[in-house]
Structure 1
Amino acid sequence: MKKIRTDLQSRLGKGRKKHCGLQQMETFFQLNDLTATKELLNTIMSYALKRNSWIKEDPSVIYHFHQAMRSFVRASYFLILKEKKFVVNTQLEDVSPLALGLLSEKEYQNPLLVFKKAFKEYSIKEFDYFISGMVYFSMGIYDKLPERNMINPYIHMIKMLDAAYLIIERKEKI
């Protein structure tokens, strides 16, 4: 009798073509609210850096968030691979600092710069490692803190979420 193994690896995006990063981002924002995602990312990050506490969220919510963020990172990478087809430069008219968020004025004009900068510093595997480590350390009490700097990838993730939302928003206005 043959043993059948179940592949527990995420299948999000595996059957799709690699050039549909924008579609994957649209789907991500249809299923996840920007502010709720940023709040959960912030909460997970703060619990990951605390030694004597763990997150009170349901583990299934955390697992869904983990998988969604992994697919978001891949969609972001696919988006910069096909950037020649997709130009989002806009002129900056009186924008309030609240609308900019963590983005600079140049990044607000061209959100693809955020993704280029993030993937210049970190690879997809390093972002996966960051997301997995952040979730792992937030779900339990551990003696040791993560061995790598978790702040820089966290800032990149927040900026990528803002930039992706800007791209989707501007695409809908066209």
Structure 2
Amino acid sequence: MKKNKIPLETNFCAGYVSGNPFKAIEAFFAFARLDYYKQNLTELVICSYKTKVYEQDNPSNAFVFYTAIFSFLKLCYCLQEKSKKWKVKAYSRSETVFHLSSLTKEEYDNPFIVFQKAFEEKTFKEFEFFLCLILELSLSPYAEDPESDLTTPYIHLIKMLDAAGLMRERGVEKIKKTDQIAT
């Protein structure tokens, strides 16, 4: 059976296509900061349960956000496979609970685990459905109780955003063959 590959088109950056997900992460965070993505994702989910329309003055912002997050989701899907050849550089400063954000200590040490766990629990299509559903519900002036679970994909996306931000902050390096033999 042929394995389908998901293209790394980053739709939020006009004309930018990358085969390197680490460069695409840089472009993703050049578009907006981590807190912007987390805040808007949270607002979209909250608006999904209310009659309040997301950004009533300019709801088209939801489509821009959707495009960026969908591109990010593609990157995350590709990053789950990169853990075999890449690792996040060691962090020298002492860490506090605040720096871990939504990540566990294990996920903080190896952010690739976040992507693997997310796609073990939910498929790419389920995450895509989640994004479409919150977009639809957050732009609707009617309160509907979604029949689908919004919490699990939301938590995974927040964790993936934190993991990607951590990877960007600390940088990545290729695993040397001697490191692979030792593990």
Q: Does the alignment reach a TM-score above 0.5?
A: yes
Gaps (5+ residues) in structure 1?
A: 1-10
Gaps (5+ residues) in structure 2?
A: 1-7, 174-183
8 Å CA contact 2:53–2:59 kept in 1: the answer is no
Cα distance between partner residues in 2 of 1:81 and 1:172: 14
Structure 1 residue aligned with 2:100: 100
Deviation track 1:45-94 (CA, whole Å, cap 9, x = no partner) reads 111122x2222252221111001000001011111223222111636864
SS for the counterpart of 2:87 is: coil
1:148, distance to aligned residue in structure 2 (A): 0.7
Gap change, CA 1:134 and 1:95, over 3 Å in 2: same
User: What pairs up with 1:101-140 in 2 under 5 angstroms?
Assistant: 101-140=101-140
Cα distance between partner residues in 2 of 1:160 and 1:72: 9
1:98, distance to aligned residue in structure 2 (A): 1.1
Deviation track 1:14-40 (CA, whole Å, cap 9, x = no partner) reads 8846x4221211110010111111111
8 Å CA contact 1:21–1:77 kept in 2: the answer is no
Identity of aligned residues (%): 33
8 Å CA contact 1:89–1:109 kept in 2: the answer is no
8 Å CA contact 1:49–1:137 kept in 2: the answer is yes
Cα distance between partner residues in 1 of 2:21 and 2:123: 16
May I ask how many residue pairs the two structures share in their alignment? 161
Structure 1 residue aligned with 2:169: 169
SS for the counterpart of 2:60 is: helix
State the Cα RMSD in Å.
2.4
* Segments ≥4 residues shifted beyond 6 Å: none
Structure 1 residue aligned with 2:49: 49
